[in-house]
Structure 1
Amino acid sequence: MRIQMDEYTESKIKEKLGDRPGSLRLVYDTINCGCNGVVTLQIADKPWDTDVPVESEVFEVWTDRQQEQQFDPVMKLEADRNYPSFKLSSDGAVFSRNLKVTDLRKPEHSVL
C-alpha cells in the first residue's frame, strides 16, 4: 500500500507532528465511534507490533496488517485548505472527507 500527499498536506502533517518524533498510523477505528467504524490518522510514538509499513515519500506511515485490506493499494491524503481536516481517497473511493488526527504520543516531561 502507498499513500500520496501534496506539499500543502505534508506541511499540515508536519505542523501536527511539531518538533517531537512520531509515526503516523492509518487506522479503521471501531472503538467508541457509535457506528461501523471511521478512518482515523493517529500519531504514535512508534509503530505497534501488528503494524505493517505504508509507502510514503516523506513520513513513516503504518497500518495494522489486519486492517490493510480495508484500504486501496494507492491512497491519497489531502489537507483541506478551508477547514482544519483531511480527506482520504483513492481512484475508486472516498474513505473520509473529515479525517480526524489523534495524537497518541506520551506527553513530554521536563527534567529539572
Structure 2
Amino acid sequence: MIILIDPYTEERLAKSLAGRPGFFKLFYDTENCGCNGVLAIEIIEQPLETDIKITVKTFTFLVDKQQESLFDKVLKLEADRAYPSFKVTSDSALYSTNVRIKDVRDIANT
C-alpha cells in the first residue's frame, strides 16, 4: 500500500505528533457504530503484531492486515485547509472527507 501526501498535509501530520514519537493507524472504527465503520486515524505508541507498516516520508502509517483489503493500493491523504480534518481518496474511491486524527498515546498509560 502507498499513501501519498502533499507538503501541507505533511506539515499538519508533523504538528499532530507534537514532537513526540508515534504511529498513524488508519482503520475503520466500528465501536459504538451501527454501520460498517467510520474511517479514523489514531496516533498510537506501538504497532500491534497484526499491523502492516507503510512509510510515508518521515511518518509511519499502520493498517491492520485484516483491514488492508478495504483500501485501494494507492491512497491520497489530504489535509483540509479550512477545517482540522483530512480527506482520504484513491483514483476510484472517496473514503471520507472528514477524518480526524485522535492522539491516544497517553490514554493507554492512564
Same fold, TM exceeding 0.5? Answer: yes
1:11 aligns to 2:7 (yes or no): no
Distance 2:86 2:32 in 1: 21
Please report how far the alpha carbon of residue 54 of structure 1 lies from its aligned counterpart in structure 2 after TM superposition.
2.0
Give the fraction of aligned pairs with identical amino acids, expressed as a percent. Answer: 47
Aligned length: 108
Distance 1:55 1:106 in 2: 23
Letter in 1 for 2:96: S
- List runs of 5+ in structure 2 lacking aligned partners: none
Match of 1:73 in 2: 73
8 Å CA contact retained: 2:84, 2:100 = no
Please report how far the alpha carbon of residue 35 of structure 1 lies from its aligned counterpart in structure 2 after TM superposition.
2.2
Please report how far the alpha carbon of residue 20 of structure 1 lies from its aligned counterpart in structure 2 after TM superposition.
1.2
Please report how far the alpha carbon of residue 58 of structure 1 lies from its aligned counterpart in structure 2 after TM superposition.
2.5
RMSD: 1.4
Please report how far the alpha carbon of residue 89 of structure 1 lies from its aligned counterpart in structure 2 after TM superposition.
0.4
Please report how far the alpha carbon of residue 83 of structure 1 lies from its aligned counterpart in structure 2 after TM superposition.
1.1
Residue deviations 1:38-79 (CA, integer Å, cap 9, x gap):
110110001112101124223111100000000000000000
Is the partner of 1:28 in helix, strand or coil?
strand
Is the partner of 2:92 in helix, strand or coil?
coil
Match of 1:21 in 2: 21
Please report how far the alpha carbon of residue 19 of structure 1 lies from its aligned counterpart in structure 2 after TM superposition.
1.5
TM-score (norm. length: structure 2):
0.91
Match of 1:53 in 2: 53
Show structure 1 runs of 4+ deviating over 2 A: none
Match of 1:86 in 2: 86
Distance 2:98 2:21 in 1: 24
Is the partner of 1:39 in helix, strand or coil?
strand
